[in-house]
Amino acid sequence: MSQAARKTAAITGASSGIGAVYAERFAQRGYDLLLVARRGERLQALASALSARYPVQATPLVADLATDEGQAKVAQVLSSDPSVSVLINNAGIARLAPLVGAALQDTTAQIALNISALTRLTHAVLPGMKERNEGLIINVSSALALHTLPISAVYSGTKAFVLSFSRGLQQELAETAVRVQAVLPAATATEIWDQSGVPLAALNPDTVMPTDAMVDAALAALDQGESITLPSVADAALIERFEEARAALFSSTNTGKVAPRLLPA
């Protein structure tokens, strides 16, 4: 890419797992990289490795996105850099436990990182993307956006937000060239499990996808024009039926009348 045409992909949570793979794949696609996370040494090592392997610039940006200060720092960088044409909102934590007995800090941190940071960074990039009529936002949600376990009230709630938020933006941006993809991985072999309360070793290995395969599938879906991607679901018709049922259920709420089963006997 010429200097004038250089494009940057900003990736949160790039220091490990899914984010680190996205960083590699976007370097491969010729994007300069802005790599965001707390562990600066890992970001620096990845930035050095990728800029040695590909003709791109990679810049680490250390920030704690669960804090107001860290969110503001990254938002400022993103909103002032018109080369940012891709934002991958990937940073996230999972604390899988019943709410009763969980540390309040675990709950608020999940909401701050999985919801607030993602929303704030989207606020930072979207006006510029819309003005330039160009851009891509990938929001990493989870299959648990569609399902809740007794230990995932908060995590599932945060990921359901990411899905709804992405759906709303897709409609808001439908007449523009700015794209939003929501990615809903099922279990993927990353470090997230180490702190989650459920060790990866406790899962059936047959249900866990390698990280590279998950990201490559999500990117294949992106290239095929998918806007909501469940990389491990073989039967695409299931997704279509789910979306149809969801739309039909919503339509059926617009009656202005109490459902007969709820009328006084």
Ligand X SMILES: NC(=O)c1ccc[n+]([C@@H]2O[C@H](COP(=O)([O-])OP(=O)(O)OC[C@H]3O[C@@H](n4cnc5c(N)ncnc54)[C@H](OP(=O)(O)O)[C@@H]3O)[C@@H](O)[C@H]2O)c1
d(CA 145, CA 9): 25
Q: Which residues are catalytic?
A: 155
Q: Shortest distance, CB of residue 165 to ligand X, whole angstroms?
A: 13
**Interaction between residue 32 and ligand X (CB under 6 A):** no
Determine contact, residues 18/42, Cβ cutoff 8 Å: no
Binding string, residues 105-134; x marks residues near ligand X by CB under 6 A: --------x---------------------
Selected from 16, 85, 122, 166, the binder of ligand X by CB under 6 A is: 16
Query: Binding mask 50-69 vs ligand X (x if CB under 6 A, - otherwise)?
Result: --------------xxx---
Tell me how far CA of residue 241 lies from CA of 9, 166, 213, in angstroms.
33, 19, 25
For residue 47, state whether it binds ligand X (rule: CB under 6 A). no
Query: How do the residues of the chain divide into helix, strand and coil, expressed in percent and rounded to 5?
Result: 50, 15, 35
Among 10, 58, 92, 173, binds ligand X (CB under 6 A): 92
Alpha-carbon gap, residue 47 to 215, rounded angstroms: 19
Backbone angles phi, psi at 103, to 5 degrees: -70, 135
Give least dist CB 265 to ligand X, A: 46
Q: Does 74 bind ligand X (CB under 6 A)?
A: no
Nearer to ligand X, 9 or 65 (CB): 65
Show the CA angle centred on residue 70, arms to residues 67 and 75, nearest 5°.
Answer: 120
Report the residue number, 68 or 244, with the smaller CB distance to ligand X: 68
The amino acid at 37: A
Region of 33-41, 125-133, 169-177, 227-235 interacting with ligand X (CB under 6 A): 33-41
CA distance 60 to 73: 13
> Under rule CB under 6 A, which residues in 142-201 are in contact with ligand X?
142, 185, 187-188, 190-192
Count of chain residues binding ligand X (CB under 6 A): 27
* CA dihedral of 229, 235, 241, 246, whole degrees rounded to 10: -40
16 and 42 Cβ atoms separated by less than 8 Å: yes
Residue type, 71: Q
Choosing from 77, 91, 151, 178, the residue that interacts with ligand X (CB under 6 A) is: 91
Nearer to ligand X, 194 or 244 (CB): 194
Sites of contact with ligand X (CB under 6 A): 13-19, 37-39, 64-66, 90-94, 113, 140, 142, 185, 187-188, 190-192
